[in-house]
Chain A
Amino acid sequence: MIINNSHANRCAVFRKGRLRTFTVGGIHPDDNKLAAGSPLQTLPPEGTATVFLDQHIGAPAAAVVSKGERVKTGQLIAKAGGFVSANIHAPVSGTVLAIEPAADIAGRRQPAVVIRVEGDEWLETIDRSPDIVRELPTDSTVIIRKIADAGIVGLGGAAFPTHVKLSPPAGKKAEILIINAAECEPFLTSDHRVMLEFGEQALIGALLLKKALHASKAFIGIESNKPDAIRRLQHIIQENGYGLQVVRLKKRYPQGGEKQLIDAVVRRQVPSMGLPVDVGVVIQNIGTALAAYEAVQKNKPLIENSITVTGKSLPRQINVLARVGTPLSKLAALAGGVPGDTGKIVCGGPMMGKAVVNLEAPTTKVTSALLFIPFREARRKEASNCIRCAKCVKACPMGLEPYLLVKLAQRGMHGELKANRVYDCIECGCCLYSCPAYIPLLDYIRMGKLRVRG
């Protein structure tokens, strides 16, 4: 379904080689990739690790260890609470201090396993050598089982259990796998560093995912502001003859949204309230691909991830490979401490990340960034009257009318909200970002969505 390809075509003329992008809405925020040049550094575990039992979409995991028990790094500590759920493993070795609620980034208490770090003794089954294992398992069910065992979830932020996504419902087939390496959120560079430093491993992971799905094609979508990553992955693919194809994308937010990425890469549009598999596509994040490689080829469960620690006033812009359960304050300290002009701390990117009230909260499997926003940029300006400039309509990547949805939500007109497809909103924040009157459009739309859902 081609709606408006003219912009992509125009870019093609200027840049030699086609840059693809999605066809509805979108914005161009400053990308502020301040930490792009900073290699991943490993943060050795120390102190305590607090591991939440509910780090994914679906049922929380159930703890299988007890207080006082000694655990090794990589050992299963909580079992998936159903098919749509995920295993959780000890990210460190040491003694289980408690199984009790701990405060998350918003200050809410969530059940967690607290482990006191003692040394770093790994489970013997985990292959910790740096050698790259290129030979894929012949059986695709082995791949899915190992991914489920390793507790892998979508690392793009949704935290949806990966093994569920790799098992499409009966009658539906995913012929195309798209690896999401767009990293369209400003400031975030952790996926970028993964591609530069673990490029081949991530690509083998992509091949594993492709095989698990029995997909005939696999694309890797990368925005053009990461030319070194594009070159590196293309080089590896060529050298090894991997069945993968890099797709260069125009820098535009929210390119990494599932629906937008499918539109950009294969020009298909997921039906309203549908799933990507309805148009024959499954999307996996590049970080998930790396985790899949480690799980299947190295027997290593998902116990660490790459996190960008950044902000305009931060002394050091860094990318860290940190164990799950590391307190955010430790990441902040590694980057030189909380800057004096900090007005807001965000876990994730500036467009979809969550505000942090508790810096002692631990990281989870899907923590992608810790962002420090200076005071002068942190405060929203006071809202004034809507001047009907239609910038929100132009920006909405789902083709909705945010100004109208807000009015309908304020008046509680549920039927009209449904008729105007409020449930399609992906909460990307483009409308609020673009509004010259600083109306909290997305806040009202979220309210409307909740009401419609009942």
Chain B
Amino acid sequence: MNNTNHTPPAVPPAENGERRLLLISPAPHAHSSDTTHRLMRDVIIALLPAFAASVYFFGWDALRVAAVSIISCVALEWAIQKFLLRTPPQISDLSAVVTGLLLAMNLPGSAPWWLVVIGSIVAIGIAKMSFGGIGKNPFNPALVGRVFLLISFPVQMTHWTLPRGFAVTDAVTGATPLAVLKEGLSNGLTVEQIFDKADFTYLELLFGRIGGSAGEVSALALLAGFAWLLFRRVIRPHIPVTILATVAVFGGILWWANPGRFIDPLFHLLTGGVLLGAVFMATDYVTSPMHPKGMVIFGVGIGMLTMLIRVFGSYPEGISFAILIMNAAVPLINKYTKPKRYGKEVKHG
């Protein structure tokens, strides 16, 4: 009886005459358009305004640093996957491009090529691939690269080019606003005296005409990137918002207590890579908590540590260290912050 013998359903052959078989799998049979590649592409797009600003202010140097960083990061990841891990290279997921671009944004425009390459080796080779590649690294690779360079090559890493654009070929160097402030305060000057001598205004902080690493200078461009990431639902707002709020509240309390000794919170928000760190570094999926509650703890922790380092530590700025320290706490945060479950739990045996 033919109804008890099942035959595979007749799917007409493909146009090229190839016989096709039906696929089977458990449900679901539909998938969102999200892919790792798409998410990384959105991060790159979000970084473009800040990158464009850095090119505008620092000229060809910024372009050169970014090119060297991206090429060395991607090449290194490819080589490690191909020759050391012997797994099919997955550089097409663009994650190495993001790491390279973020590393470049964290370096001074004047960084020599070998410094950038060393940073890439530390970021990709040590911080990312030695743990097993994308998704496995406990610390943000670009930040590990930057902090390694900051500690090992302090001279080159604090040799900031002042923004002069394309017009001038011989770059002028100077200190970042935070370094100016820190040095002034340690020499016993008040905030007002320091600002009288300094040559930057708040408007310049907002648009980026200040000394600093390539990506940290234009607050406005970074905020545009933040808006894009939120619009594309790549990140949730919890981490950046809590970091910025904590920095503002911490700075605000100090300023309110003694405006002569401490600078106002707006200055803290606009300088030293707080925005770059809060929007692009702290929100790295792999090294940040999974749940909103955990994200808030993580953000508050970064904000507090950043301010402690800035105000009481010996480094003028601290967000890189703060993020790396909090990266280490992420597994613990994930363990103790669970999402809101549906329905009450019942006792079971």
Contact = CB atoms under 8 A, between A and B. Distances in A.
Interface of A: 3, 24-25, 27, 29, 48, 50, 97-98, 100-103, 107, 109, 114, 186, 259, 263, 269-274, 327, 329, 338, 340-346, 348, 350-361, 371, 373, 375, 377-381, 384-391, 393-394, 396-401, 403, 418, 421, 424, 427, 429, 432-438, 442-443, 446
Main secondary structure of the interface of B (DSSP, over half): loop
Interface in B1-50: 1-15, 20, 22-32, 34-36, 38-39
B135 A388 contact: yes
B290 A360 contact: no
Given A103-B4, A389-B39, A432-B28, A378 B135 contact: no
Contacts of B9: 329, 338, 345, 356-360
Interface string B128-150: 00001111100000000000000
Contact of B27 (A48, A109, A353, A399): A353
Contact of B31 (A97, A270, A338, A432): A432
A403 B290 contact: yes
9 contacts: A357-B9, A361-B6, A378-B23, A379-B23, A380-B31, A387-B39, A389-B285, A436-B32, A437-B135
B335 to A, nearest CB: 10
Nearest to A426: B342
A154 B1 CA distance: 32
A357 B135 contact: no
Contacts of B22: 342-345, 355-357
Interface string B273-303: 0000000000001101011000000000000
B197 interface: no
Nearest to B15: A340
Contacts of B13: 340
Contact of B285 (A50, A103, A345, A390): A390
Contact of A381 (B6, B11, B28, B35): B35
Contacts of A107: 6
B223 to A, nearest CB: 22
B93 A390 contact: no
B39 A436 contact: yes
Contact of B28 (A263, A389, A429): A429
B170 interface: no
B339 interface: yes
Nearest to A27: B32
A203 B288 CA distance: 50
B11 A24 contact: no
B156 interface: no
Interface in B67-99: 90, 93, 95
Interface of B: 1-15, 20, 22-32, 34-36, 38-39, 90, 93, 95, 132-136, 236, 285-286, 288, 290-291, 338-346, 348
B341 A398 contact: yes
Contacts of A263: 342
Contacts of B32: 27, 29, 433-434, 436
Contact of A344 (B7, B24, B285): B24
B25 A390 contact: no
Given A384-B90, A388-B285, A342 B30 contact: no
B4 A355 contact: no
Nearest to B132: A385
Contacts of A400: 339, 341
B135 A443 contact: no
Contact of B36 (A351, A387, A397): A387
B3 A399 contact: no
A390 B6 CA distance: 42
A168 to B, nearest CB: 18
A442 B29 contact: no
A399 B35 contact: no
A358 B288 CA distance: 46
B28 A352 contact: yes
Given A107-B6, A385-B134, A421-B345, A434 B34 contact: yes
A361 to B, nearest CB: 7
Given A360-B3, A389-B39, 6 more contacts: A50-B3, A272-B341, A386-B135, A387-B134, A387-B286, A396-B339
B23 A343 contact: yes
Nearest to A25: B342
A399 B340 contact: yes
Given A48-B3, A273-B346, A338-B9, A433 B30 contact: yes
B36 A103 contact: no
A372 to B, nearest CB: 10
A351 B290 contact: no
Interface centre among B27, B136, B291 (most CB of A within 10 A): B27
